[in-house]
Structure 1
Amino acid sequence: MKLTKIEIIHFGKISEKNYDLKPDLDVFFGENEAGKSTTVAFIKQIMFGFHLKNNKSAFFEDYFPLSKASPMGGRLHFQDGEHEFILQRTYASGDSKKGSLKVYLDGQEVPENVFFDKIKNIDGDFYTDSFIFNQDMLTQVNSLNQNELMERIYFLGAAQSNKLLALRKDYASHAADLFKKTGRKPIINQLINELTDKKSEVSDISNEFESYQALLLQIKKLESEQKQKQAQLVDINKENQKLLLMKQKIKNFDEYQELQKQQKNIAFSPELYDQAQSLSLEIKNLQASLDSKMQYVDQLQKQLLLQEQVKKMQALVDQKAEFLQWQNEVSQLKRNIQQLNDEIAQIQTINPDISKIENLTPEQVSNLRNELQTLKSQNTNNTQKAAIPNWAGWIIAIVGLILAFAMHNFVWLVLMLIGIGLSIWTNRESKDKGAEVDQKVAFEQKYSLNSDTFDLDSTLNLLYQIQAKQKTVLQNEADLENLNSQIKEFEVQLAHLLQVNVSNQETVISSLRDLTQELTNQTQIKSKFEQLNQEIDHLKTQLKLQKQNLLLTFSKANVQDQAEFDELRKQSNIQAKLKLQLDTIRNNLGDDLDKIKNLESENNSIDQKLADLQKQAISYQNEISDLQAKLAEIRVKQDNLADSNELFNKKQELATLQSQLQDEMLDYLSDLAVSNWIGRSLDLASNERFPKMLVSAKEYFKLLTGGRYVDLKLDKKLVVVDDQGKKKEVQYLSRGTSEQLYFALKLAFVEQIADEISLPILIDDAFVNFDNQRTEYIVKLIEKLSAKMQVLIFTNRKELANDLNSSVINLSSEVR
């Protein structure tokens, strides 16, 4: 069966890698940490299951994806003749530790055993021991001492020889822990010593037990005598009891006669007494309830206020809405006053002239109007006239004078006359205008008003508006004062009624709330007061009726009051008790009543008999005490000796030790037998396969040693033959040569079982410590081995990879 392809999904640091393999030899080259050992572990674990970090086995079982990749695992392709097997094993969260395995034969999924039957159902440990050659294997070999290595070499022909040797060693070691001929610590040696000591103890206790039995016979004799004396004492006590009983009966008879003398006939009715008791209790309860309610009424009476005060409180509460209305009106009036004052100030700001005429009388206003109209009228006339400057006439006159020298017509004369006339006219107008200016200045000084810009009607209109608003403000202030007066009066009444300081709206509202609650309380108190008075009247009626019924009951019982009735009941109880005592004594005496009447005179004779019996009882009691003292003394002696229980316990302990020794001996003999049986089985298995292995092994050994050793022979012992023909027993070989021999035999073993188990050999840096000369030997060995079996080489030695006649898979360039 040849491995043809490796598909790695996720395993260790390797992800998504495929390798196609040849049927004879493939070389995987890579530096350290390139993934060589990871690939070897992948091949083994896909076939035999993952172990992960919490279940490590001997070789590379703690691989897990470095990233959060899922699933872990991959596939192996095997070619078996014309058929192809594909093994797919994956691991994801929730799977078993071995992962999930699927086996495909020619593309169809088949049960696992179809594949494993082909390889004889070997396990991962067998595959590791037989088909994997790596530094861990060499490390195991290096850890063996010379004798252990010789055993490994000799028994290599047996399948699972490493496990069997380890198992044989465990059984032999366990047998040595159980027993040693000269030892003291092994458990069997300890049990033998304990058993000897325990037998001595049992012998001593047996002797004590014989003495114990002798004392036991004495105890039985004394106990028999004691029982006889006790029986006689019992008879005396019985006779004494009879006499005492008779004496007591006589005494009871005397008491019986005395009680008969005290008997009286009392006319007492328990029914009437119970009725009186019930009525008395009911009267008592009614009186208590009446007193309680009257006390409660007194308390409520103190809490009730006078009707006049309640009316005042109610009136104030009824005014709450009106008070709140007052408060709202006060707030509204304050806002109105503030608004009107703001409007007045705004008007005065817009027209400052208002303040200059607001204090004028109507007559002064009329004069102001006339003077202002005169000024405005003059200003209008002046405006309508052409504004001709004074110097314009003189210019015209000068132009006329100049023309007089230049022209000889009358034009210059006309111009001179016009200029002179115009100058005269403008001069007169200028004087009139000056007078108007003087009038305007006088007006402004008188009224502090600008006649050109002052608008009297508009200013008066604004003044009238201000005066109207001021009047409204005065009216609002009067209303506000009136409302504040009413609020103050309300607060005074409220403060006087509640005897608290009421200074603002919040305290008023809070006080009114308290008044409302107090009125509610007064209503409830009044209602409860009236209800209690009704209940009190009803209780008084009931109390009067029950008292009448009680007096009627006293009359029927012929008593005056409850005290007399109680005394009558007391006498009745005394008589009932007397009757009960008489009946009891009569029943106790029974048929002996008549007999006792006759024995009353013999009371002294009974006393004498009792005294005699007492003396006899004391004598027997003393004798019994002496017997008990003797018994106690013997029992003390007996307690110091071993009894049957102690003897039985010691014998049980002896039997337990014997049984424990027998069990340990069986374990010891079993371990010894199994160890010997494993050794014998290894001998038989090795003797059967080992000679066949020597044929291939001597050829591999020759290659590994560079021809220094040329042959292997097996007689009674395994010997090697060097190139000089000299024989040497294996135990005398050097350590290095012994390891080479082990390596050669292991390869020969794999070759020997190839007809039944054909799987690839994995060599992982097993030759990392070999020098160049020995590497040449390895190259020849691998070429020879790959001609018979499939070999996968994993190495970090570039010269070895180049020397092998095969293509090289470079892992260093694929895994980082």
Structure 2
Amino acid sequence: MKILEANIYGYGHFIDSHFDISRDFQIITGENESGKSTFKSFISSILFGFPTKREKSENYAPKKGSIYGGNLLITQRGHKYVIERINSDKSSNLSIMDKQTGEKVPESLLKKWLSGIDKQLFNEIYAVNQSSLHAVLDLKPDELEKNFYSIATSGSQEIFETQKKFMKVAGELYKPNGRVPEINVMLKEYDEQQKQTQHLINKLDESKDLDKRISELQEQNATILQEKKQYEQDFLELQQLSSSWDVYQDVLLTSRKVTDPVSKITIETFERIQFQHNKISALEENLSSIEKQIENIKLQLKEKDFMELNSYLQNKEDFDNLFDSLNSSKNLTRHETVNSERLSRRNKNLRNNEVSLIFLGIFVLSLLMLIFVSNVPFKISGIIGIIIGVYGFNKELKKDSSVESQPISEQNKFDFCRKKLKLTNDYSENLEKIFNFQRQFKEQQNFKNEFETRETFLNKERTAKLSKLREEQIIFDTQLEEVEYDNFDSFRSMYFQQQNQIEVESKLQGLKSQLSKNVINNLKRFSSKREIEEEKNLISNKINLKRIDSEDKTAQLISYKMQLEKIGNSNEIAILQQEAANQRSRINTKIEDWLSLVLSTKWLDEYLSKLSKDRLPQIIELSTHFFEKLTRGHFISIVLEKTQFLLLTKDNQEFKVNELSRATAEQLYLSLRLAFVVTFNKKIGLPIIIDDGFVNFDKKRKIQIIDLLLEISSETQILCFTVDISVMCDKVSYEEILVI
């Protein structure tokens, strides 16, 4: 049988879900709580039926009201069928449909395909998980051998578990050398009854002897109790030593940290010197700050542009004279009225020009009269007009020249700075440039003076701080000399060491206060806490032995006293005989129960032996192949002698099962388990379920088991449920991984 698809109508949190699991080696993966266990339970429920109401932990009825159930699409001998189960409150409906024809087939066909395998047997044989692997490997060596034999012959450890239960119950009833089992106790009681009866019958005259024995037993018991009391006292002392061991170790460790006493530095001395050190540090920080400020001032003076100031200083006398003349009251007034005067001059010039033109006209007219008129009076008039015109015109020219000569004389004062200040012929504009230059160089002069003043102040401050620093340093050095130290670091280090020693000594004193001298002396006898525990165990065993011995002696005393009371009483003898008869009857009943359990165990051994005759050789051969592959050829043969396995390595070394490492025992277990399933499955063909069976394997062992499973999957479908698929990704295709 091979499962191709799973269609879930409603199961757990799966609602209307479809899963393709048609690959021979199908990996089903997902995070924890993603539904892997639910999906595995769904497959089991469709094949074998839904969990009953008693199995509350496996109840996966959907909570959203969907139909409880689903179907599986399978192939059986090359033919496809749909197995459907729907669970209702009243019943579980099973139907099987031929996928090719769409017709229903009898439900009994599923039982035929399963060949009598039920859910329990399927989980025991076909399901491999980590819990079963751990349960097997936690067995004792002799039980592990029997378990592997059970797996090799029946495919599971169920027969072994049944035998184990039978033997456990039988052991609770009787053991050849036992004291606690029920039959052993009853036989012992019966023997005591017989002895008591015999004593009463045959030794009625031994009362004195009984008195003597009672006295001896009392003395012996008193001695035993005294010894037991002493052992108990020793045990309590050892218990105290054990509980004090950690504190004792702390005492030893702390004692090693205590060093020889050094010169003591008082806290007042340390604080006084530290205060002086802090004062010096503060002064040094102040000096450093002042140095930085001085450097900053020098840098700003260096970066500042003093072009106007430098120009002024180069021609200081000329500029001062110029500024004096410009700043005088007359010049200031003139400067304020210059524009109006210039305007007035322009208007006057216009009027003068008009007069000049009149005189020029007289000159021209007189000249024409002199040339073209022959009349003498007119010629005389022309000569007079020429004289008047020339005189008047020259007079006007002289007036204009005197007016224009004044600004020119003022302009001449700017010649020395004309190029530097880029002056023009515009008097007003030149005045503005000069006054702007004056303002700039004064600002630069003020800036320079301010910074030079600050620098002077800071230099004085630095000198004062240096002087103060030297004074404080002398005081500091004197203080260090008084305590005989060269520098503060060594002084401070020694002080902290001293403080640490004080803490260590205080801790040591506190630890020692927890332990008495007697306890410390007793602890010196031991080198480790383990020795104390070992001695405790020895004393505890002695206490138990003394307790048992005392109980036995007490029981004997009671018995002797009872015998002493019953001596000479025939009625007591009759009662004892009746009790002995009743005891025999009860013992016989228990023996019958014990024999049935022992015989059942032997019958199961015979059953396993019978199973082994048919298919065990095939299983051993196949498991040898699997085991060799899992151990990478280290083990090459598995030999079964009666019920004991011998494992042969490639270098001809033999190992028994109880000699294998845990990892190798796991590989042997899987080899036997898988070999049985493959052999058994040739007739049935159910898929193998792997449920995180190799989660604790290392990477190499995981790769080996995956390679083996891939080989097996060519004959038997394997559904592998796991969280970690990192190793498998390189071994399988993407289609072989189903993520849910």
Q: What's the TM-score, normalizing by structure 1?
A: 0.41
| Structure having the higher Rg | 1
